[in-house]
Amino acid sequence: MPVPNVTPRPGVGARLAALIRLRTVSAWHAEPDRADVAEAFAAFPDLLERLYPLLHRRLERELVDGTGLLFRWRGASPLDPLVLMAHGDVVPAPETEEEWTAAGWGADPFAGAEETVAGAPAVRGRGALDDKGALVAVAEAVENLLAAGHAPAHDIWLVFGGDEEVGGRNAAATSDLLRERLQAHGTEPWLVLDEGGAVVPAPLSFVEATCAMIGLAEKGQAQLRLTATGAGGHASHPPSGTPIPRLARALRRVERRPFPARMNGTTAAMLAALGPLASSAARRVLPWVTRSRTVAARALGAMGGEAAAMVRTTVAQTRLAAGSADNVLPSTASAVLDCRIDPGHTVQEVVAEITRRVADPNLDIELVHGQDPSPESPADGDRFATLSAALGASWPGVVPVPYLLMAATDSRHFHAWCRHVYRFAPLRMDQVQRASIHGENEWVSVQSLERGERFHRELILSRGSRA
């Protein structure tokens, strides 16, 4: 079948801005006094239908688990479908002018402001990058292909979650649903694509190129609560061994003994891809460093920050709780550790290692939540090649690079039964933009949205057309 002649609709920025104006903050959704947020979630499917009428007219739509949306674009065959994922919920942002001004926002985060950034049209607001911008790129591609008369050879499934930022129960339910339906046909997704990496200029300090960081895997998670208990009492005569000092000693032991740096397959593949893109000085050193996985892991570990997180399980101390008054000794003190687990470790191994580092049998260590790292999808097969081809059509000159994702995505509910799960949003994000995710002044350029649409359009077309 000939490739359809697609003319993208104008106004993609305005459509994203309209979605941003809906305060779909999943962390507020369950709060009884937030009727406005409940109304925003209820309005989201209707607004999506007004913005993308062909998508809703031609595809089958289901509401899953209250706020999840599942669309099926029927192809000639249900076998080997393509699954495209995004989520419409967002994290909180300041709501009053006083709050958003103090936090550093230039305007209301939920205004969906269309403006000019660096001389080019852009959209600012909570969710512009995470993840309404990526959702719009998918929906635009489908709408434009439908308008051009495209009919896919294989089924296309769109999975739009509504609670990714609070655990992704929608995606878990959708994964179970699709697993049951597809396995009834003896098949699984040909490829699952969710948010994750992005188009990033100079992803590491020694790289002199713009790269598309395509997540082959994501780290696991473990949240641990450490609790020290003891006798309370008046602060005027404190005994030794009270809960706060014991907890502080335990936290110092954990901090002073980080997990060792060790190379995983995804990060090794990343270094191999980045080698030719390195600065001249780094290009001379990199082959020597990467000759040994141990040396390479230690070098990245010594760089700190995101580079170090690529090669080790990280432990962040995120919450502390103790005491009820300034002059009262607490009987309990607790802290939460957020651990991001590198491939090759398990949740239980991390719990055991933390227990060894704490070295206090009277301090309770509770596993609040845990999930092992995902398997590592291949970077040397036809799926990665297809992603690279779509990238070449939408972002010419940008180099595809394998990547280990530090955060968790809705796709983690699919990798237990799908062999080819990738994590990449085809939007450009420089260092400042990446810092704005869950932060302040989140924005995306209209050109980036247009290129994201082209990426998804090319990916869909790669699965063929039917007569």
* Residue 172: both structure tokens together: 């878990």
Letter for the amino acid at 89?
Answer: D
Question: Among the listed ranges 39-43, 245-249, 278-282, 361-365, which one has the minimum average pLDDT value?
Answer: 278-282
Distance of CA 297 to the CA centre of its chain: 24
More confident residue, 232 or 90: 90
Query: In the chain, what are the domains?
Result: 12-218+375-461 (3.40.630.10), 220-371 (3.30.70.360)
Q: Which helix (H) or strand (E) holds 85?
A: strand 77-87
Does 1 score more than 60 pLDDT?
Answer: no
Nearest Cα residue to 88 out of 53, 35, 47, 145: 47
Angle of helix 446-461 relative to helix 12-20, nearest 10 degrees, comes to 100
With pLDDT > 90 as the criterion, what percentage of the chain qualifies? 82
pLDDT in tens, 127-144: 999 999 999 999 999 999
Residue 396 pLDDT grade (very low, low, confident, very high; cuts 50, 70, 90): very high
Does 401 score more than 80 pLDDT?
Answer: yes
- Who contacts 190 (Cβ-Cβ below 8 Å, separation ≥6)? 80, 81, 82, 154, 383, 420, 463
Nearest Cα residue to 323 out of 333, 314, 315, 335: 333
Does 5 score more than 90 pLDDT?
Answer: no
CA distances from 22 to 25, 29, 40, 43, 54 (A): 9, 12, 5, 8, 22
Rounded average pLDDT over 232-239: 76
Residues 70 and 158 sit within 8 Å (Cβ to Cβ): yes
Secondary structure letter of residue 166 according to DSSP: G
Integer Cα distance of 431 and 444 in angstroms: 13
Rounded average pLDDT over 389-405: 97
Residues 23 and 459 sit within 8 Å (Cβ to Cβ): no
Nearest Cα residue to 292 out of 258, 262, 259, 260: 262
Radius of gyration of the chain (CA): 24
Residues 58 and 73 sit within 8 Å (Cβ to Cβ): yes
- DSSP string for residues in 348-405: HHHHHHHHHHH--TTSEEEEEEEEPPPP---SSSHHHHHHHHHHHHHSTTPEEEEEEE
Residues 400 and 106 sit within 8 Å (Cβ to Cβ): no
Locate the DSSP E strands across 219-259. 220-229, 233-234
pLDDT on residue 82 = 98
Determine the longest span between alpha carbons in the chain, in angstroms: 85
Q: How many CB atoms lie within 10 A of CB 280?
A: 8
CA distances from 49 to 111, 130, 221 (A): 20, 21, 35
- Who contacts 100 (Cβ-Cβ below 8 Å, separation ≥6)? 93, 94, 107, 108, 109
Say how many CA atoms lie within 13 Å of 121 toward its Cβ.
14
Indicate the length of the chain as a whole number: 467
Rounded to the nearest integer, the mean pLDDT of the chain is 93
Does 284 score more than 80 pLDDT?
Answer: no
More confident residue, 90 or 274: 90
Letter for the amino acid at 323?
Answer: G
CA distances from 150 to 1, 80, 84, 85, 451 (A): 10, 18, 17, 20, 19
pLDDT in tens, 307-317: 899 999 999 99
Query: For 17, phi and psi rounded to 5 degrees?
Result: -60, -40
More confident residue, 178 or 4: 178
pLDDT on residue 238 = 79
Helices (H), ranges, 158-242: 169-184
Does 2 score more than 70 pLDDT?
Answer: no
Integer Cα distance of 444 and 446 in angstroms: 7
CA distances from 341 to 213, 264, 312, 423 (A): 20, 12, 7, 17
